Every structure is written in C-alpha cells, then in structure tokens.
Structure 1
C-alpha cells in the first residue's frame, strides 16, 4: 500500500487547503516532517487516519474536535487522500460534522459528516501512476458516497483494521514503547485487535460454558432422581392396600441413605455418583412397581364379582319397568278413544261444508267467465263511443264536407263533391258503410301520391339551380386566372434562360478549385502530424535522458558492489576458516591471524548480489538503446512530415484552406443553380402547355353549366303549376294529404270499435246462458248462493286436516289396544321400587370396586412412568458423568487452570505463537541496531498471584547473558527496541493480512533520546527500509536528522495562528 497524495482543509491547525505530494519523495525514499511544537506535524498523520477510518488515534475516548478553530463559518473542512493498493489507485474524501451558516435566515446548522470513495479507471494501474498523473489525467469512478458504505468498501480494499494500520503504516506518537512495556493483558488486547483471535476466546468460553452446563445437568439429574423417589413414596403411601409393602421397604430405604431421596446428598462437587448408590435406587423403584402389580390383580377380581351382581339386579328391574310401561300405554289409548267419540257430530258438519264447497268450485269457472265477458262488453261500448266521437269531429272539420269547396277544374270539383257526400256518416252507420267510406278516402290519397312527390322535389330543384349558379361563377373566375397565367409564362421562360447561362459561366472553374482545396488539406494533415511528432520527440528525449541516468546509476552501483566485494573478500574467506581444515588460498591448517570483518567494510556483498546488479545493468543498457532508437525514428518521421507541410504551422494553412473552401463552395453553388434553373425552365414550358389546354376546357364547362341550369328551371316551373291545381284550399298538397290520412285513420278505428262491440254483446249473452245451466246442475238457486258456498283453499285445507286428524287418531288408538303385547296384562300396576333399591345397592358396590381398581391402575401407570424415567435417568447419568469428566479437563486446560501448569489460556497460546514470529522479525533488526548486544525474548513463564502468562517480553543482554525486564533499558535503548519491535510487528501483520506490500511508513517522534552513534544506527535501519521503493516519513525535531534528510515537509505557523505546509523534495 502506498500513500500518494493528501489534501487538508479546515482540519486541525490548517485553515486553508494544504496539498502534499508524497510521490515526490519516492526517489529519495525518506523524508522529514519538521516544525515547531504544536505546529501540526502529527495532524498530518491524524488526517490520513481520519480519511481512511473516520477516526483520529490521539482523540480516542474523547470528543473529537477536528474542525480548525481558525475556520470562518463558510470555510469547508475536509481531508482528501490518494492511495494505491492491489494495482489500483483510489481517492477518498471525508468531512466531519461541523456547524455551518444556514442557507436561509440567520444562525448556523450542523452539516452532517460525509464521505466519498473513487477508483481510477483507465491509464496505468497502481504505483506506476505519479501524483501528477493522478490529478491531471485521472478518470475516477465512484464506489460509495455514504460514510458507512465508504467504511465498508475501504475495509475490503485496505485489508487492515484501524489498529493494524496504526501498527503497520502509521506509527503514531507515544505508540512505540506502549507495546514493548505493556502488561500481559494489555499486550493481549493489542494482539487480539491485530490478528483477530477472538474466535479462540469464543472457543474457550464455549468449552467453559459446556462444562458448567454439564455440571448443572449432572446435579439436576441427581435431584430429579431424588424427586422421582419422593413421588414413588407418595404413590405407595396413598393406597391403604399398599401399606404393608411400604412398611416392608422403609427399613431398606433407611439402610440405603433413605433411598432415592438421599441421592441428592450423595452428589459431591464433582458430581460423581457411586455405583452402589445407583444400584440401591434401582432396586427400590423395581420392588415398588412389583407390589402394585399384585394389588391391581386383586382389585380387578373384586370388580368382576360386583359386575355380575349388578347385571342380575339390572335385568329384574328392566322387566318390571317394561310391564309398568305397557300398562300405562293401554290405559292412555282407551281414554283417548272415548274423547274422539264425543267429537263425531262436529266432524259431520265439517264434512257437509266441504261437499258444498266442492260443488261451488265446479261452477266457479263459469261465474268468472260471465264476469270477464261483462267487463269486456263494457270496455267495447266505451271504445265504440270514443271512436264515434273522434270520427264525427274529424268529419265536421274536414274541408271535404264543406259544400262551398271549389276546385281549380270542373273535373276535380265533381270528384271532391262526391267524396264529401260519402264521407259524412249517419248515426246508424254500419261497419260496412264505414269500410266503403275508408276505401273512398284511400282512393283520393292514391291520386295525390305522385303530385306530393313532385311537391317535395321543388326545394331540391331550387338548391340545384343555386348550385349551378355558384358553379358557373367559380368557372368564370378560374377561366380568367388561367387566361392571365397563359399570357405571363413566355416572359418567365426567357428570364430563366438568361440566369442559367450566367450560372454555367461561373461554374466553369470547378476543377481548379477542387485541386487547391485538396492540396491544402494534405498540407494541413502533414503539419498536424509534424506538431504531434514534435511532442512525442520531446517526451522520447526525456525518456532517453531518464534511461541514461538509470544506466549510469546501475553502472555506478555495479562498480561499488565489485569494489566492496573485493575489499571484503579476505574477511569473507577468513569467516569460512575452520580450525584443523586447510585454507582455500594457502592450504595451511593453522590460521593464526585471520582477517576480521570491520564496520568500514559495510554489509558483505555476495555473488548473487553481483549477478543481480549485473542483470539490472544489462536491462538498463538495453532500455537506453531502445530509447535512443525511438528518438532517432521520431526525428526522421518529424522531418518528413514537416517537409510535406511546407514548414508552415497548421494555423496558417487553416486560413488558406478557409479561403479555398469558400471559393469552391461558390462554384458548387453555381452548378446547383444551373441545374435548378434547367428544371425550372422545363416546369414552366410544361405548365404553359397545360394551362392552354385548361383554358379550352374551362370555356366548354361554362357553356355546359348554363345549359343544365335552364333545364332545371323549366322542370321546377311545371311542378309548381301542377301543385297549384291539386292543393285546393290548403297551402300545400302535403297538408291536404295529412288531413285525408287522419280522416282515414278515425274511420277505420270507428269501424273496428263497432265490430268489437257487437262481438262482445254476443259473448256476454253466451256466458250468461252457460252459467245458468251449470247452477241448475249443481243444485244452486242462483249465482249468489254458489258464491257463498265457496271456501278458500286454506279454509278447505283446515277442515280436511281436522277431519283427517280425527280419523287417524281414532284408528291409531284402536290399533294400540289391539297390539299383542298389551293383551293379558294385569289390571293393577306392578311394583318396581324394591327392585330399583336392589339395583342401586349393587351399582354402588360395583362402582366402589371399579374406583378402587382404577385408583390402583392409575397409581400403577404413574409408577411405571416414574420407574421407567428413573431407570432411564440412572442409565443416562453414567454417560453424562463420563462426558463431564472429559469436558472438565478440557475446559480447565484452555482456561489456564489445572491441569494446565503454564496457566496459559487458549487464545494466549495462539497469540504467543504470533508474538514469537514478531520477536524473530524484530530481532533481525535489533541485532543490527545494537551491534548484537540485545535481543528480545518471548517470556511464557508462570506469573505470580494467578496472573495469566504467555505473552511476556524480556530483553536478553549478551554482555551479561541474562534476560531482564524491558523497562530496565535506557531511553535510547528503549527507542531502538521499540522501533525494532514495531517494524517486526508491521512485517508480521502485513504478511498475515494477505501479504500486503507496505510502500509507505510514517514514524512519529522518539529520535531525540538517541546519541549520535545510536541515531546513525537507527537511521541506517530506516534507510534499509527504502528497498523496493518504500517511502519513509519521519516526524522529528532532531537537527542531525534535518541535516541528513534533505527532503522534507516544513510546517510553519502564520501570524494569524493557523499552519501551512511547505514541501521540498
């Protein structure tokens, strides 16, 4: 993971936006963050931690005040961090919550915390992109825009928790020594957060809880068995028949520690139940069950005997009760038959009423028919009267009945007079007379049909005449316009011919214009290509220069390694000498004064390092050759393109091209105009030919319209004359037809009504004669008597129901008295009370026997359940005990109790293995920093007063050969040991986190406690961390470090009090 860039605004002591480009320090690999106390050096680390984890380690456990006190109300507060990991570039921007001015009104409102996370898309991935590229060329794609979602996304991207990040990348102030001097429990808490070993604590807790649960289960099992024994005693004592069995077992129970009840007291703390006690309980339960089986057998025998006596008494009682029931049935039937004989006279009256009603029903249909015929006759008479009145009124109003009516001709007048005489109907008119009158009116209507149709055509003819007038006017207008257009077209054709000739002359320079535009376009492409190649050439020369520098540095380093290899060759050979074995150079087996390795020789250089650097030099040389070839190729291509472009810049060629394109556009437009004029001339000539034909057609159409109109006017005049002859006194023939149609209708209605009245008179008389005949046949004097004798259906049903019920009841009682089982019964009632007392006594005896047997059976059933459960519990307790013993030993071991002699918990054991790896990694650096004097040791010795062990750290002093406590080190020694431990911890955590590459490391303070030599060793160690492109940031006030580290971030405080960052690389 590499930190690329940081922007801070309104955060801590920084009011205005401050930008830090950490990639600018990549070449040096180490830089210094310096400034006065309180200027804001550690705030840079706070900002990085806040951007990634929304938390600042220095403010843990307190209210975080992150917004700068120097901010104005409208100033923003945010931190924006660019970082690279896993081959991807990311940018996170985060703001805390703070007060800001309201958008409306006065005062402030709290702006909630927000966060955004982006990933770079396109371009080179990961660390290959510099900060400048990230800012200038980056295309960012959003990942999350809510603080919670940003935190979740960062967890997956970083692969480090906040605590791991603080231990691996950002070694904040005062955290160096904390881990070194921490107590066992405190160190365990740090390691837990770093390595995520909570699962082992969960396993330990689960095992202890299982052990406790088994203890409870074992004790509960013993208590439950004791409770089952108490329940058995209660059941045994509840039955009087079981008293002897209970007393028989009391002595046995006492001798066994009071039997099952004593089981609870026999359970020790370890919940171990002796086998002898479990066997005693088993015998007690089994003997109690056997005794109750014997009691149940005796009780069931008593139930069988009692049941037999009860059945005998029950049979005798049932026989006596049946005889008593039959006697009562006989007496009741005889009494009921006497009552029925007393109602015979009223039943006879009911029978006579039903017989008269039956005869009335026979004639009722004829009575109804006479009533219907009479009502129909009355309606027919009313209809005839109304029809006569309507006919008389229509005849009186008709103009045909007026003798003074005249007609336009003698023939028409004679016909109308004859019709008027036939239409007037006398009071004694018959249906035949009315039919003749209607026929005459219908004949008159038939004679007017054709004239009426012609009269209806008069408005249509007038409309068509008006249409011909409009058509003629429109045709005259069209004819005038066509004539005028025909006279103007020849002049337009001549004008178009002149314009066409002018356009053809202008378009004659088309080929020259095309050639000039194409020539300028080709020149411009070459000029643009030359400019692009010039930029590529400049970049290629920069790359060539960089490759040259890399090649020089690789050659220099190769020479240095060869020199150091040769300088230390004697010491290397001396280190391989073994007493008694020949020297590889001189062959001597004695080595009195071997060359010693000194500090001025530096680190030993191996053949592998020489080979590796030789390979790097070869690659650098090859890269330089490739870069030179690329430059020469670009020089040739640029010269060719520049020559093709005439040496002119693209802007000048663009101006010339614009002029040439305008000239070409004018020529093209002239060609298009000539083509359009050609088409226009052809259209005008075609139009002249067409308009000449149109004038002729319109002249002919005007004449045809006039002829058709004259014919319609003549036809309309003839129809009007004919209507005048036949309308009479009416304004129109239609009015006369309507009057005749109404007269025809009322005449027909009068005829129909007269016929219907005659028919209804005949029907009424026939119905009256038929009714009289049927009244005589049924013995009724008149219609009223028959009406009075008639009963409704409900009345008849009620009477019939009463008669039927009487007949059924009488037959039923006679049948009852004739039943065989009622014959020969004693006259006196039989006695049943004594038999009932005998049965009652037998029932009580039977019930008591059954209750007693049921009680024994119930106790036996409960005993069986209890004994089965007790025996099952006794069997299960043996398995439970074995499981408990195993779990107790395992839980105590992982809990750090006996038999664990190291008193080390399971989680501590796992963390101890991690701590050993950390110490191994730390010692590799501490040995170098202390000249081999000090090394860290893992201390897993047992602590005092039950203190947990396993995570202790001691320091081994090679001068004394003894280990001692870490707090006995001096300030400088403590710093070196803490630094080595922190670096070892960072190495192990990064490996545990999936092999994260740590390309950036920050260290805050601690160097001031070192003397010059120790500081040099520490700096050498930190300098070695730069291998592989790692960048180290140090926060320190030490002047010597300022002299050794030229790249730095200098924090200064402005006169206004807020801080600013000055970057120098």
Structure 2
C-alpha cells in the first residue's frame, strides 16, 4: 500500500479543499515541518481516518463531529479522499476511498442543525464502487491493506509519543500486542479451555464433597453404643474437613456397614416383641371398653327411674294445663264471632243517622241551586257588552302605542348612529396613525438587522472558543493529575531512600559481624593446628621444623563453628539482596519521578503555548503554573460565558427581526385595507343617520294622543272595568257549578241509604243468631269468655302446649331407656372400672416402649442404609473425577505459568520466537544508530519465569561495559533510537509473516529532538537506507537540523482560514 494523493476538506484544521500529492517528492524520505498546532499530525490522522474511520492516535481517538473543521462554515461537507496503490499480481492497482465523518449541517430551510451520519465510498481499480454499506467497505479496506488499524499504527503510522510504549511495556502488555499482530490467541485459548475444564472438575469435586458431607451428616449413630467411637470420629472429621478425603469415606463405609447389620438384627428381635405386646394391649383395651359400656347402662337405668318418678308427681298439673288450653281457644273463637255481630250493629246505626241529616238538608240545597242559575245568566249578558267595547278601544290604542314605540326606537338608533359615526371617524384616524408608526418600525428593524448580520460568524467563533476551552481544561486536568502523581512520587522517593538507608545499615552491621567472626574462626583454626605441632617435625602450613611462637588457642573462640559462619554468610547475602532491591526500588522511583517531572514540564509548557495561541481576551501568565492556568481559564470561561449569552440574545433578536420583516409587506397591505374599510364605514354610517331622522319626522305627524302616557292610562281604565265584570261573572258561574252538584249528590245518597238500611237490619239479625249459637256450643257465657280473654293472651297456648309435650316426651323416653338398660344388663354385676383401666394403661405403656424402640431402630437403619448406598456410588464416581482433575490441573498450571519458578505461559513462549526475529532485525538498526554501543535482548529463558512472567521483557546490552541493564535506564535519545529500531524490526517481521502485505509507507511523528547530532545522523541514515527502496517515509519534527539533512519537505502553516500545505522539493 502506497499513498498517491490525499484530499482534505473541512477536516480538522483544514478548512478549504487541500490536495497533497505524494508523488511530487524526488526522494522517498521527506520531512513534514511547521509550527506547533499548524496541522502536521492532522495529515496522518486523515490517512488513517480514510482507511479505518478513526484518527491515528491510540490514546486520543477522534472520530465523527470532532473531526469537522471550525475554519469554514458548516454548509461545507467535511471529507477525506485518499488515492493509493496496492501491488497485486505483478501490477499496481489504484484504489480511491472517500470518507465523510459524522458531522452537522444547517437545515436547508428554517433554523437549526441536522446530524449527518458517516459515509464511505471505495472506488475499485475498474472504476466501480465496491459497496454502499459502511461495514462491508471497512472490511474490504482492511483486506486490501492487509492490516488492522492497531497493526497499521505499529507498522506504518507511529503516532506522537506512542511508539515508545512497546519498548517500555511489560510482558503482559507486549503479549496483547503480539497476539493481534501474529495471531497467537490459539495458545491462550488452549489455556482458557484447560482452565474452564479444571473449573468444571473442581466444581464437580466440590459438588461431590457437598453431597458426601450432606449424606455423612444424615448418618445417625445410636447413643451409648459399643464400638461406635471410630465411626463417630470419622463422621466428625469428614464434616469438618475443607477438602474431601475419599479414603476416610471408604473407611467410614466399612464401619457404617457393620452398624447397619447390627441394627437389622435388633430390628427383627424388636418386631417379634412388638407383635406380642400389641396383642396383650388389644385384649386389655377390649376388657376396659366392655366394662365402661356396661357401667353406662347401669347409670342410664338409675337416671330413667328418677325421671319416671318426677313425671308421676306432675300428672295432675299437666291435666290442669290441658283444660286451660281448651278454655283459651274457645274464648278467642267466640270473640271472633262477637266482633262480626258488633260491627254489623254499629254500621246500621251510622247509616240511620246519616239518612236523617240528608232529609233535613235537601230542601235548602234545591233553592240555592235555582238562585245561582238566575245570577249566572244576568252576569254573563253584562260581561259580553263590556268585552266588545274593550276590544275596539284596545285595537285603537295598540296602534297608537306602536307609533310611539317606533319613535323611541328611531331616537335610540339616531343616538347610536351618532356614536357609531364618531367611532368610524376615530378608527380611520387611528389606522392612519398606525400606518405611519409601522413604516417607522420597519425602517428601524432593517437598520437593527443590518447591525446583527454577522452574529452567526460570532457564534461559530464562540463555539470554537468553547471547544478550545474544553480541550484546555481537559489538558489542565491531566496536568493536575500528573502533578499529584509527582507529589506522591516525591514522598515515595523519600520513603524508598529511607528504606534503602535502613537496609544498607542492616547489611553493613551484619557484614562486619560476619567478617569479625570469620577472623576469629580462622584464628581458632590456627590455634588448633599449633596445639598439634611437635618440635623438630614440619608444620603442615609452612613446613618449618622450628616453632618458636605457636598460636595459642583461646577458649572463647571455640563457640564459633563453620556452620555458624555459613548461617551468617547467608544472612549477609539475604540482607545484600534486600539492600539491592531497595536500591533498585529507590532508583526506579527517582527515574519515574524525573520522567514525570519532565513530562509535566513539557505538558504545562505546551498548555501555555496553546493558551497564548487560543486566548486573546485574557492575559496569559508569562511563567507556566497550574494556579496561573486555572485563574486564566476561569477568567476566559467567564468572558466566554458572557459573550455566549450576548450572542444568544443577538440571535434571538435577529430571528425576531427577520420574522417581523418577512411579514412587514403583508402587514402593510392589511393596514391599508383596514384604512379603506374604515373610510367606507364612515360614509355608510352617515347615510343611515340621515335616513333615520327623516322617518322620525313622518311618525310625529301621525300621533292622535298628546302622549304615550295618556293613551296607556285610557287603556288601563278600560281594562280595569273589564276585569271587574269578568270577576263578577266568574263568581256567579262558580256558585252555579257548586250549588247544583251539592244538591244532586245529596239526593243520590238519600236514595242509596233507603235501599241499604233494610239489608243491614237483616244482616245484623243473622250475626246475632250466630253469636248466641257459639255460646251455646262452647258452653260458655259472655262474661266468662271475656274474663278468660282478659287474663290470658292467645300466644300463651303455645307455651302451655310445649310444656305438655315436653312432659309426655320425657315420660315416654324414661320408660324406653329403662326397658333398654334392663335388657343390656341382663342380670350382670356392676364392674370395677378403675382396676381394668390400670391394667389397660400398663399394657399400653409396655407396647409404646417397644414401639418407640422399634421405630427408632427402623428410622436409623433406613437413614443409614440410604446414606451408605449413596456414599458408595459417589466414592466410585469421585475416583474418576479426581484422577482427571489432577491431570488437567497439572497441565493448566504448566501452560498458564502458574508453577513457582516457571511463570512464563505457553503463549509468551511462542511469542518469544517472533520477538527474537524482531530483535534480530531491530538490532541491525539500533547498532547503526548507537554506533555499535547497544543491543536489545530478551530476558534469559531461565529468568523469564522467576517471580512473574518476564518472557517478553527487554533488556539492553552495552558492548562497551559488557553488562546488561533495564530498558527504562536508557536516556531519552537512547530510548527513541531503541523504540524506532524496534518499530522497524516489527514492521519487517509483520511483512515477512504476511505475504499479502505490500506496505510501502511509514510515518513517524516527533522524537528526534532528544537525539544528539551523531545519533540523529545515524537515525536519518537508517531511514534513508529504508527509503532507498520503495518505502515512502515521512517524518514530523521541529528539529531545525533535520531541515538540512532531509531535502524534500512538506511545509505546513496555519492562519485564520485554517491550515495550508506546500512542497519544498530539492
């Protein structure tokens, strides 16, 4: 893959359409140079975005709206077009990819903004478009390039500050990177599968343990049982154990089997005894129950005899009650017949009295009816005469009143027309004023609108400031976090230094002690040799036969032995290791502190540079500091907030003005129309006013009465006379209607009563005869039944009958019980129930004791046998599972690096093969750049698994000192050379392992500023050698010396319209 042409529009800092032709440089190595923030890195962002849909930085990923340029209006669509070639089948195929990021654009109509989705178009070598589906196109691009974005960033686009991460990353971090680059995830999958299977087996074993312990807990051991101590001990051990011991379970099963056999024998013995005790219990129970039944019959007989005696004593009383019941019933039957007789007598008397009253009233009612008829005829005749006179007068006066009503209406109309005419005149004048004021308002709106025409530009500028403000605040937040880290590291460095001093002191003291005792020990050995010397015989040390001053042995030195010295030597070695560890910890902390302080200074200087470029309304402090940055950003934020509020108000005002101006013409037409209508209305109202005055004069001439009141008074008097005559006639008519019906009603009642009274006399005679007959039948006089009724109520009969029935029932029941009891007793003696109860209870107790023992033995036997069967099956199952788990666990621990002293996993072991080949290629460049001083190496395989996985950790071998050291001890320039060499070596290895990759591109962003002249020259030389082939290499850097060493340059500049580029070709 090799870029040919890159086109940017409204992308990042590039506003207007910008074309970069990568075929223009005469050499394959070129320099991208320009001021900070001018847009150099954006070029590389655009290439990566075109291919993968994201900007190149892995730490600060950008996509979508973040990439839309603020240096051009939002109507311009942001897009990146990359034309590149790919060598396939012996020829270069040209592809063109155009990607539009997610962005916003103004609505085509109206106000507001619309979100637009990301789109991508890939034009194939034959000119056809691959697909309009974004996902499919992205996959096709990755297929053409042959690398994922992560691989591309490691090989082709080495982003600013990120290409050293791989150099300093620990083995676990490198493992993740190499996994993606070289596809070694299969080995991790093997470890994951083994881990999963181990967990499954562990779970199975845990479940077996739970099941076994549950079943063991169910085992019941009878109390105070001989030879059960071992079984109890095994049960307790298994229940308390954290891990299952199947040997203990097997032993427990043997003991449990013995117990179950014993319980089975006991169960059979108790079952026989149970049958005997059950039979005896049933016999005693039946004897007691039969005796209780017989005793009940004796008690029933005695009670029946008592009841019979009581009934004999009440026999006369019951006879009296029965007679009283009869008398009460007779009295109330006679009373019912008497009431019918008495009612008939009273009805006859009432009718006779009413007939006499009617005969007295009838002559008076007849005369009154005749007089009322005469009066009604006379009143009716006079009323008809008066009604005719009133009708004529009413018609005449109504016509007169209508004239007066018309006159009054016209007068009101004329007054209304006057007011309406005045209103019409005022309305026309008011509308004329409104038109004049409206013309003035329109003129003012146009002036104000012209003043606010640039508010949208101000809004875009304000948005850019707000985004810049957010970026600055984010950078400041990161700096504050870094500052806190530095503060913590300072404290940690002091603590580490203190720990080192203590460790050094401990080591020195122990070393001095060891050396002192070692000298004493050597002296004691010399004393021992001296004590064995014989004068004239050679010394085993010096060979002299003359011994003038032999060493004397001191008793105090005998306590120091070789073993003690070895122990002290080991303690000295251990303390020395601790001292070296503390020294290393202290140095690493100080190195990190220095690194973070340098990073802090770089970040805060860059922040203040950016603030000076971005903030124009607030003075940025000369000396960089966190407090100064916070104060400056707070002031800028306040100014931006006030500015934003003002812009928002101006936008609202402008919107209202544009809306008012857009409707001004229609409003003016409407006002003119209203003015014309007001003029026409005034003319029409004036015409109606004059017409109403003429009609009023004509009506005044046609009046007959002096006034409306005179006419009304005359009609009122006539109406009074008419109403009086009407009332007189109505009274006469009412009197007639009342008198005649009264007479007719009275006459009809007389005829009715004369017919009814003979019938009532006959009915009374019949009722009297019935009354006398029932007195005779019941053999009772009137005074007797009235006396009985007075003393006794009718419902008393029910109570008396109930008492009599109860007496008869009690008597019959007692005789029946007596007869039944005598029959059941059958001349037998009364039994001794207490004695029989005692015998029954004793038999029941003996039965219950045996039953309880039997049920207990049965339950224990059943539970223990079930536990035995389940445990026996689980022990057999567990053997297979434990065997499988042991194999899997051993294999998993070995392949995953869980074994002590062998912490390197299988994937790391495989990746060391790739890393070795990467280092072979990288060291060719590293030795050139460092003038043969350094060489990158892996940690030895023997040490790679000690403590933790260090299989992919890198060390640096110095050809000058012949020693190895950690890569983090390299200086900034040395680190850059090592990281660049590693990146180039990785690119070689990836391309070598992937035959389909033809990557003829590499861009490096910054890093050369940390190199001295020689190292920089060597690095450029290596890159030139690479560029001598077909690979296109671009370098971003501020280092001025590179401008002389690299002839082809892409110059990037930035002004208020955004970024611009031009080639400076050698």
TM-score computed with the length of structure 2 as normaliser: 0.48
Using the size of structure 1 for normalisation, the TM-score is 0.48
